[in-house]
């Protein structure tokens, strides 16, 4: 791994932390810009570095650095209602990056972004449902449905931005 790779991975971990602080509370799971930067990390950096950037973000938060929404940090956040979403970030970045690497087309980037969002929803919904004592229907209503329109917009925006960024910088 080159120093440029480490710098780009650290940049996207930091951007995700900043995106977490841009938050609209709507219930147990806030709307944030984290997902946008998770997707951008995968789309711009590729599967491996995108995964590592988000793994670094999750580890920073787990050890107590206040990078999660509301300037929170610590393992308790990962155990709480939003933990499943956060734990899914590295996998989502990997999926977005993987499909981008395989296709190099905007349609692949969009499919990777939507696939990454699906993983975030799945793990987040499962954790939220467990947190809500097995009420998975309410967890879906509170933790997935309100986010679908917003996250589709984030996915489209991520594809547009990533396409331009990939053309502007050499990540090879």
101 burial level (CB within 10 Å; 0-12, 13-18, 19+): middle
Look at residues 152, 167, 51 and name the one whose alpha carbon lies nearest to residue 104: 167
Query: Over its length of 172 residues, how does the chain's per-residue pLDDT go in tens digits?
Result: 789 999 999 999 999 999 999 999 998 899 999 999 999 999 999 999 999 999 999 999 999 999 999 999 999 999 999 999 999 999 999 999 999 999 878 899 999 999 999 999 999 999 999 999 999 999 999 999 999 999 999 999 999 999 999 888 865 4
- Domain boundaries along the sequence of the chain: 3-168
Fold of 3-168: Arp2/3 complex 21 kDa subunit ARPC3 (1.10.1760)
| CA 140 to chain CA centroid, nearest Å | 18
Q: Tell me the two tokens of residue 163.
A: 């396409």
Strands 23-24 and 31-32: antiparallel
Look at residues 46, 56, 51 and name the one whose alpha carbon lies nearest to residue 172: 46
Look at residues 117, 121, 99, 11 and name the one whose alpha carbon lies nearest to residue 47: 99
How many other C-beta atoms can be found within 10 angstroms of the C-beta atom of residue 128? 26
**pTM of structure:** 0.95
């Amino acid at each position: 791994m080159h120093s440029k790779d480490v710098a780009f991975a650290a940049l996207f971990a930091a951007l995700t932390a900043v995106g977490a602080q841009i938050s609209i509370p709507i219930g147990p799971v806030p709307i944030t810009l984290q997902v946008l930067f998770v997707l951008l990390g995968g789309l711009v950096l590729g599967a491996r570095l995108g995964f590592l950037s988000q793994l670094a973000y999750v580890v920073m938060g787990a050890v107590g650095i206040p990078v999660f929404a509301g300037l929170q940090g610590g393992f308790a956040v990962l155990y709480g209602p939003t933990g499943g979403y956060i734990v899914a970030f590295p996998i989502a970045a990997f999926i977005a990056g993987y499909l981008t690497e395989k296709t190099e087309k905007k349609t692949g980037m969009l499919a990777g972004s939507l696939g990454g969002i699906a993983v975030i929803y799945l793990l987040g919904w499962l954790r939220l449902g467990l947190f809500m004592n097995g009420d998975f229907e309410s967890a879906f209503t509170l933790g997935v449905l309100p986010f679908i329109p917003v996250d589709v917009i984030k996915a489209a925006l991520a594809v547009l931005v990533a396409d331009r960024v990939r053309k502007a910088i050499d990540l090879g």
